[in-house]
Amino acid sequence: MTQPDIFTKWKSWAPQLQSVLRIVAAFMFIQNGTMKLFAWPIGMQPDGGPAQLLTQVGIGGTLETFGGGLLLLGLFTRPVAFILSGEMAVAYFQFHQPNELWPIMNRGIPAVLFCFLWLYFSAAGGGAWSLDGWLKRGRQPAM
């Protein structure tokens, strides 16, 4: 039994949708970093200011802002995603899990999702619309 043509066409968009997922997730991730580094678009609790740069939270904000920027562009996707996956695992087990067992109760769902999302991209790469892909193709635009 063959699949209808629409399913075949939809499946052919997987590499582009992989890039869309990477771009949207990286844009959301960058906001966590800019909150910590620049108190933008909102500051950190309790005073609404930024984190101290050479603290664990400040280093996390640096990783999130600049690593997220690299992921947004799809540049060095695999190694950067692997590092950020580890950062999110540390964030979950150090800051969320000690408060409660369940992620819904300890507000750790974003950390868990980002951890596994970045782990996926560390294996899968940035998709069709990435600078990694562009450089690999010899700087020919993706169709």
Q: Where are the domains of the chain?
A: 5-136
The yes-or-no verdict on residue 2 having pLDDT over 90 is no
| Mean pLDDT score across all residues of the chain | 94
Identify the band that residue 130 occupies on the pLDDT scale cut at 50, 70 and 90: very high
Read off the pLDDT of each residue in 29-50 and give the average, rounded to a whole number.
94
CA distances to 13, 69, 103, 134 from 138, in Å: 22, 22, 43, 6
What pTM was estimated for this model as a whole? 0.90
Token pair for 108 = 């750790």
Cβ-contact 71, 81 below 8 angstroms: yes
d(CA 36, CA 49): 8
- Tens digit of each residue's pLDDT (9 = 90 or more) over 7-30: 889 999 999 999 999 999 999 999
User: Collapsing DSSP states into helix, strand and coil, what is residue 143?
Assistant: coil
- Tens digit of each residue's pLDDT (9 = 90 or more) over 64-111: 999 999 999 999 999 999 999 999 999 999 999 999 999 999 999 999
